[in-house]
Amino acid sequence: MAKRELIKERVPTPEVPVEERTKSFVEVNLGYDFASAIKEAERCIQCPPEYAPCIKGCPVHINIPGFIKALRENSNNSNEAVKNALRVIWNDNTLPAITGRVCPQEDQCEAPCVMGKVGDPINIGKLERFVADYARKHNIDEELLQEFANNGENMKGKVAVVGSGPAGLTAAGELAKMGYKVTIFEALHKPGGVLIYGIPEFRLPKEILDKEIAKLIELGVEIKPNYVIGKTLTLEELLEEYDAVFIGTGAGTPKLLNIPGILLDGIYTANEFLTRINLMKAYEFPKYDTPLTIGKRTVVIGAGNTAMDAARSALRMGSEVIIAYRRGREDMTARIEEIHHAEEEGVKFEFFLNPIEFIGDENGKVKAVKFEKMKALEEKDAKGKRKIVGTGEYILLEADTVVIAIGLEPNKVISEEATGLKTNPNGTLVVDERLMTSISGVFAGGDAIRGEATVILAMGDGKKAAKSIHEYIQKKYSSA
């Protein structure tokens, strides 16, 4: 085999120009076409799977060199290439159009990539996304579904999945592939969890999410929206009807700042702000019935992906936006791509500002946020971040809209109702190494056990729990 030349630079993906995209919610990144995807795929030096650091870096262990190989091996037949690559991905992950878009690849698969030591790491996320998108556009995923669908002859049992976010969808997909009858219960009127209420169209178009979920339905998964488990049905009732239950209820409760003025009009939690926009399409009010008030100047508090999503959404609704973070730039937890996009689009960043009070006008509407200026010490905290302390200096930022994006806690609807379900002091569910909770046959994963984490870690849990559920049910029936 001819020696490959190392190409240090990534093949770029086109993006919608800034001036155009800030006027609408269209997806920003346009992704690869086949030719450029092949070019990028050619850069991969094909580490052997047992060594490949990218696989180790991926929480669901997608065979990354494998799918890249499949893609470029058939570079003269795009449909064949994509079909083979998709087959490799689906073995580990049934939702690549989602993960290809929202995973923090720079911290996971792409971080340890060997190519990254000599140049840019392989653009794994965009390649994964390309395979998923091309397959969807050319109905290749439909063909492949037949291969993956269980024909229903050896149905093994029934599993209830609570929550249709990344963890629940993954668990459901894996179990359906194994031949289980799976029912997903979702509290909202549409499935997707955080993917539908939390992530804006410009990062993950709803149409793509809907299609990914439709694949699960074709695999035999039933989705029941408008079911709040713990209220509509109890966990006990589920256990009477199903062989096992998977809880993937996420971290749905917003953390609030315990400072004066929190009830003022114009102050939203990121969850409310994004739910109104993403799920309820408030940016199309009054064509859609859900309103959202947005002022001339929005201050977003926080520095994670949610803060970026809220900031960029506010910008698209015509507001000037400042992100205020109590730490420094290096401690922001958002993906680099999202921070970069936010900056490009004109979001301003202010660091070392800790909010201490919301100031309202005579009508009870917010007009400013008072911050204490902070400074960083050399000493580091448990998370490896520099400790920060107040300086005693204060600053006012004018704002008629404020979005609080400082994190989430698990939603306690189930744990409050099912008293046998043990929780940690922070509200997360206690699970063992199989992801089984304190109730036999009830498993859990994702943010419900982690607190706030990423889509892909939730999917990793969904996959692991599916395997444990399979073993649990097999054992149950073999000993019966």
Partner 1 sequence: MGYRITKKENLSAIDFFMEVEAPHIAHSWKVGQFVVLIADEKGERVPMSVYHAEDGKIGMFIRRHGVTTFKLWYEFDVGDEIFSITGPLGKPIEVKHYGNVVFVSDAVCAQAESYATLKAMKEAGNYTIAIQTFENAANTYPEKYLAKSVADEHYLTTEDGSIGIKGHYLDVLKELIEKDKVDIVFGGGKLGSLVKLAELTKPYGIPTIVTVRQIMVDGTGMCGSCRVLYDGEVKFACRDGPMFDAHKIDWEDAIKRNARFAKQEKLAKEMYMAKLKEKGVI
| Residue numbers at the binding site for partner 1 (CB under 8 A) | 187-189, 197, 224-228, 231-234, 252-254, 256, 258, 262-263, 265, 268-269, 271-272, 275-276, 280-281, 285-291, 293, 363-364, 411-413
Q: Decide if 449 contacts 171 (C-beta within 8 A).
A: no
Closest distance to partner 1 from the beta carbon of 262 (Å)? 6
Closest distance to partner 1 from the beta carbon of 406 (Å)? 12
Helices 34-42 and 64-73 pack at an angle, to 10 degrees, of 120
Distance CA 264, CA 256 (A): 13
What SS3 state is found at 137? helix
Closest distance to partner 1 from the beta carbon of 445 (Å)? 19
DSSP string computed for 385-406: PEEEEEEEEEEEEE-SEEEE-S
Question: Residue 282 has what DSSP assignment?
Answer: G
Burial of 392 (0-12, 13-18, 19+ CB in 10 A): exposed
168 vs 252, beta carbon nearer partner 1: 252
116 vs 205, beta carbon nearer partner 1: 205
**Sign, Cα dihedral of 345, 348, 352, 357:** negative
411 vs 437, beta carbon nearer partner 1: 411
Closest distance to partner 1 from the beta carbon of 29 (Å)? 28
Closest distance to partner 1 from the beta carbon of 227 (Å)? 6
117 vs 287, beta carbon nearer partner 1: 287
Token pair for 360: 């309202």
Q: Decide if 428 contacts 448 (C-beta within 8 A).
A: yes
Closest distance to partner 1 from the beta carbon of 219 (Å)? 19
Q: Which residues contact 118 (CB under 8 A, 6 or more apart)?
A: 6, 8
163 vs 460, beta carbon nearer partner 1: 163
First to last CA, the chain: 56
130 vs 242, beta carbon nearer partner 1: 242
| Residue type at position 204 | L
Closest distance to partner 1 from the beta carbon of 132 (Å)? 26
Q: Decide if 402 contacts 263 (C-beta within 8 A).
A: no
105 vs 269, beta carbon nearer partner 1: 269
| Residue type at position 391 | T
164 vs 271, beta carbon nearer partner 1: 271
Helices 336-345 and 305-316 pack at an angle, to 10 degrees, of 20
Q: Decide if 196 contacts 380 (C-beta within 8 A).
A: no
Closest CA to 354 of 377, 368, 370, 366: 370
Closest distance to partner 1 from the beta carbon of 465 (Å)? 22
Which residue is associated with the tokens 């063909």?
143
The answer for 283, left when phi > 0, alpha when psi is -120 to 50, beta otherwise, is alpha
Omega cis (within 30) before 286: yes
231 vs 475, beta carbon nearer partner 1: 231
158 vs 412, beta carbon nearer partner 1: 412
